[in-house]
Amino acid sequence: MNDNPPSDIEFCNVVKRYGEVSAVNGLNFAVRRGSFHSFLGGSGCGKTTTLRMIAGFEQPSSGEVLLAGKNVAGVPAFERPVNMVFQHYALFPHLTVAQNIAYGLRYRNPRPDKKTQLRMADEALEMVRLSGFGQRKPSELSGGQQQRVALARALVNKPTVLLLDEPLAALDRKLRKEMQSELLRLQREVGITFVLVTHDQEEALSMSDSISVMHNGSIIQTATPEQLYEAPASRYVADFIGESNLFNGTVRQLQGNSVVLRTEQGLELESPLTPTGKTLSADAPGCIAVRPELISIAGANADMLREVKLPGRVEDRIYLGNCTEYRVRTQAFGVICVRVPRQQDHPANAFEHGAAVSVGWDHANGLAMAL
């Protein structure tokens, strides 16, 4: 396999079955050393199972899991060089914060003496900005503070890989934002590989170097956040990451990079093929995705210099603060979602409910992809 750059985690055809049900189907991926990788997907997509196989809580039914280049088949959790931050922190309630953090230190080889253990726990507390909290019990801390203790408890062991299982799910939005940048800072500081499992795409997009989108036990696409958003490999990803207007149809024409699709409504749409994912073939089903923020909206009579132009009526107007979302019903394609950013010279909420408008985009704004 490719040794350059080295990967800390590698999965080769990993399958995990529980009885008849398979939680994970033939996973193949590698996580580059020192990177921040996320597994993103809805509940039941197999992302947590994947993480638990890295941690050693689950053994794959078949396939190989490699940690730092070594096959870890049969290696129990307590002998793996990984540490986990659990979803509900799983702090030991009967121990103080300092004892929680020092918990794993005595199992290190060579084992640091008591004094060194305490010093390391103190340093870890300082790193997560909780100096002076060592003597408290976990129950005396707020959710965000407990989260930091869980982080310190894992990082103090200097693992090869830090696993994060939906670590921010229990925090409120503001605190979550704060912890996100905290996590990024820590990752840069300690330089070890972070693997995050989340269902929150915003979280995954804002923190990761690379993301694997999972669905039904398989990885649909592994890419950088930019690629995922700007060049989704399939309809599922285009729909799951952010929002897309999706037009299904059959491929009529393929010319180099350009795809012409006859939609279910009998209209022809043209757009470039997505740079990732499968190529399309003529007469195969496919779809074209257009992001709401790439679509323009104008009054029915206004000039609009876009290659695709459709008349419609505003059905819903949703004010989102930094932008306004219009749901415009068109005759050709049903409801089309348009997002208009707030700008000084242009009131974003210019169109009332029921107003006659036209929406439009250029061929280049769409992406054609497999279903």
Partner 1 sequence: MNAAAHPQSVQPGTALSVGARQRRSLGRRMTLLMLLPSTLWFLLLLLMPLLIILVYSFGERSAVGGYAAGFTLDNYLNLGSRAAAFSNTLILAPLGTLVCLVAAYPLAYFLALKVSKNRSLLLTLVIVPFWTSFLIRTYAWIFLLSGKGIPALLASFGLEDVRLINTPWAVLIGIVYGYLPLMVFPIYVSLEKLDKRLLEASADLGASAFESFRRITLPLSAPGVITGVMLVFILLMGEFLIPAILGGGKVFFLGNALVDLFLQSRNWPFGSALAMTLVAMMLVIIGVYLKLVARYGGRPVDSGV
Q: In the range 147-186, which residues lie near partner 1 by CB under 8 A?
A: 153-154, 157
Distance CA 355, CA 145 (A): 50
| CA angle at 308 for the pair 303 and 313, rounded to the nearest 5° | 70
Residue closer to partner 1 by CB (options 55, 228) is 55
As measured in angstroms, the least distance from the Cβ of 206 to partner 1 is: 26
Note whether 81 and 9 are within 8 A (CB): no
| Phi, psi for 343 (deg, rounded to 5) | -135, 155
Determine the interface stretch with partner 1 among 55-63, 199-207, 312-320, 352-360 (rule: CB under 8 A).
55-63
Distance CA 224, CA 204 (A): 10
As measured in angstroms, the least distance from the Cβ of 35 to partner 1 is: 21
Instruction: Tell me, residue by residue from 58 to 97, as one string, x for binding to partner 1 by CB under 8 A and - for no binding.
Output: ------------------xxxx--xxx-x-x-xxxxx---
Token pair of 293 as six digits: 């923020």
From candidates 5, 62, 70, 107, binder to partner 1 by CB under 8 A? 107
- Write out the H or E segment, with its range, that includes residue 188: helix 173-190
**How many positions of this chain bind partner 1 (CB under 8 A)?**
24
Instruction: Check binding of 213 to partner 1 (CB under 8 A).
Output: no
Residue closer to partner 1 by CB (options 111, 129) is 111
Instruction: Tell me, residue by residue from 108 to 137, as one string, x for binding to partner 1 by CB under 8 A and - for no binding.
Output: x-----------------------------
As measured in angstroms, the least distance from the Cβ of 361 to partner 1 is: 48
SS3 call for 332 = coil
Residue closer to partner 1 by CB (options 79, 202) is 79
Among 192, 116, 185, CA closest to 154 = 192
Note whether 355 and 314 are within 8 A (CB): yes
- Residue 291: count of CB within 10 angstroms of its CB: 20
Could you give the C-alpha distances from 62 to 27, 45, 73, in angstroms and in order?
10, 18, 10
Residue closer to partner 1 by CB (options 82, 195) is 82
As measured in angstroms, the least distance from the Cβ of 156 to partner 1 is: 9
Tell me the residue type at 64.
E
Binding positions for partner 1, rule: CB under 8 A = 55-57, 76-79, 82-84, 86, 88, 90-94, 103-104, 107-108, 153-154, 157
